[in-house]
Copies of this chain bind each other. A is one copy, B any other.
Amino acid sequence: MLILVLAEAALEPIPREIWDHPIIRSFSRRRGKHPRLIVLDRSHHHFAMKDLPNSEKRGRPDIVHFCLLEALGSPLNKEGLLRTYVHTIDDNAISIDPETRLPRNFNRFIGLIEDLFKHGHVPPKGKSLLSLETRSLPRLIEALKPTYTVIFERSGEPKTFEDVALKLAMENRPAVLVGGFPHGEFSEETIRLADEVVCVDSEVLDAWVIVSRIIYEYERAIGLPKKRLEQLINRGS
């Protein structure tokens, strides 16, 4: 089983410091929602958020959306062998049930996340598919108890996805941490959680490219692609 954590992810409600900004006030009025229940998004709130601390790492919910679609749609997840979490830059942890069918449409995804901010879990009734609690990344990792943790980061040791995955596949509860933000680096506190920090390409890769590749290489390392094709062939015969 592989644990995937999108860490320091650029997904948060509009922070209190900018609730009074004219752009936010008018956006809030138009949406008919209080700013604390609206997802911060650079494509709408750019000028309001530019003086926030760490501004360049924030307000990119699309990154979380793409990464989750890649993760939840993977054969590894369909086999029940992937656990997916989002740790947000404002220290919330979101657990995602592997059977969640996430909205493909971005605006509906945002609606879902805003419901999550409001209720702490979605759907509001019945079994929760997404649930949110206030939790720092160290506390989340402590609770997940990985036996080995790899962080993908520009400054890490050069290593192919294949070599990373071969190591992960030897572990009982391996975890990978992928940055859910567009620019900048992991905080030092995050880096301290890693058993290994790796760099997998000569250029910065989008988070969803890293997510799809490490999941796929982990599948390869545990022999999943061949196993699933054999199931298909046996079903047909």
Contacts and interface: CB of A to CB of B under 8 A. Distances in A.
Contacts of A143: none
Interface residues of A, number: 43
Interface string A195-237: 0000111110110110011001000100001101101110100
Contacts of A199: 232
A172 interface: no
A160 interface: yes
A114 to B, nearest CB: 16
Q: Chain A contact residues: over half helix, strand or loop, or mixed? A: helix
A231 B43 CA distance: 35
A78 B108 contact: no
A73 interface: yes
Interface stretch (A32-40, A81-89, A99-107, A117-125): A99-107
Interface stretch (A11-19, A62-70, A173-181, A186-194): A62-70
B231 A202 contact: yes
B73 A209 contact: yes
B160 A229 contact: yes
A232 B75 contact: no
A115 interface: no
B206 A229 contact: no
Interface string A157-169: 0111110000000
A69 B66 CA distance: 9
Given A108-B43, A213-B216, A203 B75 contact: yes
10 contacts: A43-B107, A73-B208, A75-B205, A78-B203, A158-B229, A158-B232, A200-B229, A202-B229, A202-B232, A202-B235
